Each structure stands twice: as C-alpha cells, then as structure tokens.
Amino acid sequence: MQIVKIVAAGVAIVGMSVAANAHAGKTFDSVKAKGYVQCGVGTGLPGFSSVDSKGQYTGLDVDVCRAVAAAMFGDANKVRYTPLTAKERFTALQSGEIDILSRNTTWTMTRDTSLGLTFAGVNYYDGQGFLVKKSLGVTSAKELAGATFCIQAGTTTELNLADYMRSHHMKYQAVTFDTSDATSKAFDNGRCDVLTSDQSQLYALRTQLKNPEGAMVLPEVISKEPLGPVVRSDDTQWFNLVKWSLFAMKNAEWLGVTSKNVAEMKKSNNPNIQRLLGTSGEFGKMIGVSNAWAYDIISQVGNYGESFERNVGMESPLKIKRGLNALWTQGGIQYAPPIR
C-alpha cells in the first residue's frame, strides 16, 4: 500500500510539473514568442554595464542578461539592452518595457515587498564608500564634516549618507545628478569634495577621472548593498529561470566547470556535474527550457568566477579583489542552492 501511495504521489508531482510548463507565465511566454530578452542595464558603468569599442554591451550585470538568454534560447546574444537611470529603472520593469532589470540595484525590504517586484539573487555584494581627491588631505570619512557630496539621485546612497552623517553629528551638503557619469564629472570638475556611491562604482568611476591616481577610496564602508537582478512578481516561471541561471554560474565555479573545459566535463562521473550539464535528470524541463540550459550558459558566458575576473576582477582595469564575492568555500559569501 505504501508503494502505491508513493507512486501515486510521484505521478501527481510529474503532472503538476507538466502543467506548470504548459501554462508558463506572461513574461516567460512573451520572451519566448519575441525571441529575445529585453534587459534593463545601467547608462554606462565600467565593469558592470558599458559599451565597448566594438559597440557591444559588456559587464557583470550584462552577463546575467546573457546567461538568461543562453538558458532560454541556447544563444547568449539574444538580448536587447535598455539603458536606464536609477530613477527610471523600476518604472521600466513595472510597465513591461523590460523583462529583467540587471543594473547594480540594491536588494532592500521596501523594494522587495512594495513595488510588485522580486529580486532573483545577488550577483555582487557591495557597500557604500567615499571617493576623495588626495589634495583634500583626509584619510577617514569621520573627517568629512561640512563637506559637499556628489550623489546619484534615486538611490539608497542618499538615505545611507543622511543616516551616517546624522549618527556622527556632522553637517554636509548634497548635490544630486541623474546618472553616475554626470556625478563623476561633477566630482572631477570640483563641484563637490566627495563622491559617494557603492564602492565598486567608485573604483570604476575613478578610472574615468582626469587624474585617477590623484583620488582615493576612503576605508569606511557604511552600508550593506547586495546587488542583483530583479523581475516582476507575477511570473514564477520567469523568476525561476532568471534565478537558476545565476545559480548555475555559481554552481559551475564551485564544481570547477569553466567555459574552456565544459565540453570535456560532460563526460564527468560527478553526479553534481552531470545534473548541472544535463547529462542526467530533467532539470532544464523543470524551468521550461532545454536540459542543456546550464551547458549553454557556461560555454557562452562562463562561470561566475570567470565573469567576475573578466569584468571587475584582477583581469580587468578595476582590479577589485573577490572579498565577499568569493565562493563560501574560498572565504566569501557567494553561495547557490544545489541542482538536484
């Protein structure tokens, strides 16, 4: 009797899975029908989303978009990009102008619960810092009383700065701009004493200054800024595809599967690698795509570590150390649930 019950339950689960795939959500169906992913990115932030000399979008955030396209279509190039300011990004996603927002966006409780949006994971753990010109003669954020700050409008940066200065009983003046590029140029031209933003952005923007060596990032980090892709909350299947595309990149790094060895790894006897690459199980079908979904991501975009090093790590002009963004097995906190 027990066996009969288990078999019956298994049939029911399979039936639910098939039904879920047969009735995919609005965004999933729409993306599949039009043949590309419309991805909202930044307006130009080196390392995360910017246009290279060949006119191609590159960056850590861009790679998330490419991974989703590879999983969905088997082709990482089936992406169209919409550059968005911080003010525009959530409205663009809510209105359906874009399918996914992958634009250095901080996961907060307010954004996750009140905008009709859902964060699909964290592709970069960041924190807010301060960039100053060495000629200012300060070495700590606690010496910035009375300073003028350049800030990008519509970000958590404004609120974090207000909290920090209030808690340290320091007065300040804020000057806001719509884009990170405008904020950086204002700092470069002397409109303010300090540029404050996520530390990753400060390192990126410093490379664009007239004299990068004349500026320094102060040691203080005053906030938690978990950055990641966002989707609308009304389509679970689309959410699962975006979420597991990011998880596949992290699991690939954990398992040592790279863009260079992924074809050879299909012969692996490791059950975790077999499930990741679709040589066992039906994990692609569970999210409505081919069982080669993760193979396509890794072969065309690379694993998370490859993407990090290429875009913002030591192989890039930014030369940011992995730090918190190392895998949990390497002293960081990047972690993905298992595929099984």
Give me the domains of the chain, ranges plus CATH numbers: 126-224 (3.40.190.10)
- Write the CB contacts of 72 (distance below 8 Å, at least 6 apart in sequence): 31, 32, 37, 78, 241, 289, 293
What is the pLDDT averaged over residues 56-84?
A: 98
Task: Say what the pLDDT of residue 107 is.
Answer: 97
pLDDT in tens, 10-52: 434 444 444 444 457 899 999 999 999 999 999 888 999 999 9
Task: Say what the pLDDT of residue 135 is.
Answer: 96
Q: How far apart are CA 266 and CA 278, in angstroms?
A: 8
pLDDT in tens, 125-146: 999 999 999 999 999 999 999 9
pLDDT in tens, 170-222: 999 999 998 888 999 999 999 999 999 999 889 888 988 999 999 999 999 99
Task: Say what the pLDDT of residue 23 is.
Answer: 54
What is the pLDDT averaged over residues 99-103?
A: 97
Q: What share of the chain has pLDDT > 90, as a percent? A: 84
pLDDT in tens, 213-255: 999 999 999 999 999 999 999 999 999 999 999 999 999 999 9
- Write the CB contacts of 254 (distance below 8 Å, at least 6 apart in sequence): 327, 329, 336
Among 53-57, 150-154, 190-194, which is the least confidently predicted range?
150-154
pLDDT in tens, 300-318: 999 999 999 999 999 998 8
Task: Say what the pLDDT of residue 83 is.
Answer: 96
